[in-house]
Amino acid sequence: MQRSLSIALYWLSVTAVAADCPSLSPSQVQAELTERSQQVAQWDDAYHRQGVALIADELYDQARSQLAHLRDCFPAATPPSNRADNPLASSTGPLSHPITQTGLNKLADEAAVRQWLSTRKDLWIQPKVDGVAVTLIFADGRLQQAISRGDGSSGQDWTANARLIAELAQPLANHGALLLQGELYWRLPGHIQAKAGSLGARGKVAGLMARKNLSPAEAAQIGVFIWEWPSGPTGMPERLAGLSALGFSLPQQLSQPISNFEQAQQWRDTWYRHGLPFASDGVVLKQGTRPSGEHWQVSPPGWAAAWKYPIVQALAQVRAVRFQIGRTGRITPVLRLQPVRLDDRQISHVSLGSLQRWQQLDIRPGDQVAIALAGLTIPRLDRVVTRNPQRAELTAPLASDYHALSCWQYSPACASQFRARLIWLSGKHGLALSGVGPGTWDKLLKAQRIAGLLDWLNFTEEQLASTSGFGLRSASQLSQRLHAARQRPFQTWLRAIGLPPCGAAPLGDNWNALAQRNVAQWQTVPGISQTRARALQRFFQQPEVQALRGQLQAAGVAGF
């Protein structure tokens, strides 16, 4: 009871001062925090202990960031489990790392990168290999032990499988004691990250290394990138040269000195868009000099940081599901999203394409979804990432209620399709009325000036001027454009009011002649199939369409 009261009081105070915090009831706060914490903990366990990525890294990073933000908004409602606070909680192992594996902080944006670079000297940049981290211990030039990253302090014994990897199977030139830290990666010659993505490369390596037996063919597909020599030379050039002499040449080939943000940005873009021998999810910024290894800790160091590549997927929360009904009666569910940025664009809506897809996915407000860009411009739903445990009730329109001959008059149930008919009528496929678009029709609909598709034909300038949203000048211009529509050709008018597509078929210029045709007569017209012939006959026989014909005839439109 006391805990519930404290959550309620804090919720009231936070929602009053934190404009960017969600408006949630105490029970919703508790449910969301618990659900998100458990989900992140599940991803952590699969990734770090089992070597299985259940979610793309960039979506995981966003999910963890959103969870942290939610906790900042409602700190009194901390979930009972703290597992999500430690991503490596389940990945510890029996072997201790002689030198801690530190991990890396991820710089959020260009501003963070500029800030990080501005306070440091002797700077270097490397591709960030998308593989699995490992500690390698050598004695007398031969690999003695390979330890998985685990929780940074201890990990699993990967020695037997590591000895089958070509770069680790041969003795090194250095016959003393040697400890290296690096990445085991899946070989992808000429791999272009911007085009191909990571291809699940990390998961392949993690899965193979966790097996009891690794085949020679599988081992041949695994490479080694050494990114740290804790007891190596002090200077970066000397360390890189020393690694190359040991047989690990990639770090020297792919490490570049930099002195400013522009150079870092250039190398990041180069490695993102040009071939590398492995999948890479970003770059690593480093200081050439760093503390000796015995002082390293599990927490990310201040002398190195990651700058990830541009995200290709954004994690967005669904605010609402709306069902748009098009001119022909097609129902398209559209998700209204908490706005997210993707490729310098702000995305707040995404279409699901069809009612059937929404029914299959069962997306509700509060769910989190992954959004990508199709053709670099159109938002596309990739997958449902998490589901809101509190499933909101949604009533979708019945597909049987909407079709090509429904909703010629305005009603609440027909609002979407009727509006779509008006937009088509004045648009480029219809009458092509300059300056008459969705905004125009929305004003007239809001003012309840339009109940039927052609009610506007007899509007006077005075009527328009008295309508909210129109001034004297705009009313005069609109009146002229609407009046000019009467002069449009007969066939243009047919398309505008919704004639089914009939290609380049000759239609003539007389309504009666077309309305009297039966299915067989329509089929004699080149390009008209039986299905299209039936649709054309139904169109001309539809009572609402015949009423439109009467309005056009009364308005003096030629052909009607």
Beta-strand pair 304-308/105-106: parallel
Token couple for 321: 């599901």
Element (H, E) at 126: strand 123-129
Token couple for 452: 């039927």
> Secondary structure of 76-115 in the HEC alphabet?
HHCCCCCHHHCCCCCCCCCEECCCCCCCCEECCCHHHHHH
**Three-class DSSP category at 466:** coil
> Secondary structure of 169-202 in the HEC alphabet?
HCCCCCCCCEEEEEEEEECCCCECHHHHCCCCHH
Query: Which residues are CB-neighbours of 444 under 8 A, at least 6 positions away?
Result: 450, 456, 467
Alpha-carbon distances of 129 from 117, 144, 242, 351, 366, rounded to whole Å:
21, 24, 20, 35, 34
Which residue type sits at 148?
Answer: S
From the candidates 121, 128, 212, 443, which is the catalytic residue? 128
Query: Which residues are CB-neighbours of 467 under 8 A, at least 6 positions away?
Result: 443, 444, 447, 449, 475
- 121 included as an active-site residue: no
Alpha-carbon distances of 500 from 404, 491, 497, 527, rounded to whole Å:
8, 12, 10, 13
What residues are annotated to the active site? Answer: 128
